[in-house]
Amino acid sequence: MNLKKIIIISFAAVLAVVSTGCVEREIVINKAIQDIPDVTIKEDIEIDWEQVMEDCEALLSGDEYPYGCYLDFAVHDDENTTEIIWPVKNECPVEEMPEYAAAYAKAFNDAVAVQDFSVKLSEDDYYGGYWDEHDMDVQVYYEKDIMEPEKYYVNQIVPAGSNDPIIINPNIEE
């Protein structure tokens, strides 16, 4: 009789463990916790500028910005200024150049924000948090005019935090 009770109790215990699935559920929960990305704000983040360029190029595709040639930028930490440069095809309507410049400014900001969560994302009428801290030296010009800055239709410095509109250079000589 004792052997029969032991076998029944053992069978019931095994059945209880198998039916609850406690062991597997614990593993799944642990895996889920490990897969959560760390989104805490860190100090002294080093931005991967090559990744910023790749992200900007992906955001400013040829479909939406068919007149764009290539993107370039230069970060001048000592002057707290970042140049964003976008030559456009020679058939680009002049009135679209400020739109291209604003789109690049927002894409640049958002690419930085992907790496540094403390940077506010851009919005319709806001270039983003990166530009609250850095002056923007923005240049958009016809590709043929690359060596003639006096012909840059957009050649403007937007002071940090001003969110000034990007305009066509009023001193342009055609």
119-137: pLDDT as tens digits: 999 999 999 999 999 999 9
**Sequence-ordered list of residues with C-beta below 8 angstroms from that of 20, at least 6 positions apart, any chain:** none
- Where would I find the beta strands (DSSP E) of the chain? 72-76, 81-88, 135-142, 154-158
Taking Cα atoms as reference points, which of 159, 166, 141 lies closest to residue 151? Answer: 141
**Sequence-ordered list of residues with C-beta below 8 angstroms from that of 23, at least 6 positions apart, any chain:** 17
- pTM value? 0.76
User: What token pair was written down for 124?
Assistant: 């319709």
Give the pLDDT confidence of 1-38 residue by residue, as tens digits: 566 666 667 666 666 666 665 555 555 555 555 666 65
